[in-house]
Amino acid sequence: MNRIFEALNYIIQALVEVPQKISVERIETPKTDIFTISVAPEEMGRLVGRNGRTAESIRDVLGAIGAPMGKEVILDVIEARAAPPRPQAQSARASRRRTRSKRRRSNPHAD
């Protein structure tokens, strides 16, 4: 496994209360490692810190680990959001009733 990725996981587990709620995605190229961290809203403050100081410090540490390997490290922290609620399904009968009533109202002189 990549030393940078191992260091990032170690730091994250030390900072947050529930590391299972955090997801880390990694994109690796020959000269760059890009890490995207998806964080639960309640863990965001712990990981980012005041004015982004903690996140910036993490970037500095990861950059220092990647420098001897000739790699640039990019770190993005994204707040995970809950999925939007799904609309409730209508019954087929209710849907048909609405369609019929709309047709009747749209042409009042049809009789």
pLDDT tens across 32-75, in order?
Answer: 999 999 888 888 888 888 888 999 999 999 999 999 999 999 99
Q: Does domain 3-79 have CATH number 3.40.1280.10?
A: no
Phi-psi bin for 98: left (phi > 0), alpha (psi -120 to 50), beta? alpha
Per-residue pLDDT band at 78 (split at 50, 70, 90): confident
User: Between 36 and 101, where is the model more confident?
Assistant: 36
- Tell me 30's DSSP state: S
**What is the signed CA dihedral for 49, 50, 56, 57, rounded to 10 degrees?**
-70
Per-residue pLDDT band at 88 (split at 50, 70, 90): low
At CA 79, angle to CA 67 and CA 29, rounded to 5?
30
Q: So what's the pLDDT on residue 79? A: 78
| H-run or E-run covering 36 | strand 32-39
> What does the domain layout of the chain look like in residue ranges?
3-79
